[in-house]
Structure 1
């Protein structure tokens, strides 16, 4: 049975890195990174949030089609609202696939530091996201997201919580594999 694997967590916690690593080790797996898809929309930098809202239905269509026809999908995405998680869960179930929800967790102060430290020069949205966070309340807004993710995990008891340790990508990846039964 195909799986939609949601890698949820704070910005900079390693969602995309783990997703790409998983796909590299599991040929045929699609990494559906909504942040990458958002950059395909004209004006995405000026309307980052709106571009994300517009691209999510397309991402759901892509995910559903891929699950039905091809295999597993990994979705590295910060989803802090139950309704957003449920949209992707419904897509998986409608495609006859399993939905696996993993929260890559770290202490909120570590998450804030990792957010500020990340910028590999590859992902074009990092500078845009930094500006949005600064405009939206800075570190306090990041701390609020950390709190929302904690609340989300309480509301969704099937969520597998994996400690994301800075500098230990191998350990985090091994824990994700163990949680998936791989």
Structure 2
């Protein structure tokens, strides 16, 4: 049974970094980045809402295709609302796959610090564009926006304040059959 893992959390928490590390440590896993899809669209950044919705549709189709082939998939995306979570749950159910949502957590100071560092030295092209919409001063609001997701039954909260290897060990335990 394939698995669809949603790594949720505020910008700067390390979702993409953890997804990349997970894919490198688990052969057969594929990462699908909604941000990468969004930034490849001709409508981005002039139409951010339209681009974001189109990217989610494209990503969901790609995830469905991969799960149907029996591959495990990780999606890293900041989702304060449940709309796209429901889409991903449905995609997993339709593919007879296991769905896990993990909200990566860190404290406000760490989010602010990571967003500041990311602004100074982006490690991904999409960070430059995304950082036009968030800044270190938004850390408290970004964390608060995820309170409802963190409280949802079945959502796993994983502390991502330590080294990536530590976060991977926790995820490995959650992903065990």
TM-score, normalization by structure 1: 0.88
Instruction: Indicate the residue corresponding to 1:40 in structure 2.
Output: 40
> Any idea what the Cα deviations from partners look like across 1:12-57, whole Å, max 9, x if unmatched?
1111111111111222211001111112201413333331111111
CA RMSD of aligned residues (A): 1.8
Give the length in aligned residue pairs: 176
Residue pairs, 1:63-142, within 5 angstroms: 63-118=63-118, 120-133=121-134, 139-140=137-138, 142=139
Instruction: Indicate the residue corresponding to 2:172 in structure 1.
Output: 177
| 8 Å CA contact retained: 2:110, 2:161 | no
Instruction: Indicate the residue corresponding to 1:144 in structure 2.
Output: 141
| 8 Å CA contact retained: 2:35, 2:55 | no
Shift in Å, 1:76: 0.7
Shift in Å, 1:121: 4.1
Q: Which 5+ residue runs of structure 1 have no aligned equivalent?
A: none
Residue 154 (structure 2) aligned to one of 154, 158, 165: 158
| 8 Å CA contact retained: 1:28, 1:70 | no
Say which is worse superposed, 66-75 or 47-56, in terms of deviation: 47-56
Q: Which 5+ residue runs of structure 2 have no aligned equivalent?
A: none
> Any idea what the Cα deviations from partners look like across 1:83-107, whole Å, max 9, x if unmatched?
2211111111111111011111011
| 8 Å CA contact retained: 1:5, 1:102 | yes
Mapped to 1, the partners of 2:128 and 2:21 lie a distance apart of 23
Mapped to 2, the partners of 1:124 and 1:46 lie a distance apart of 17
Matched residue of 2:100: which SS?
Answer: strand
Shift in Å, 1:74: 0.3
Mapped to 1, the partners of 2:28 and 2:43 lie a distance apart of 31
> Any idea what the Cα deviations from partners look like across 1:122-160, whole Å, max 9, x if unmatched?
4112121121225xxx724x4222112122111x21111
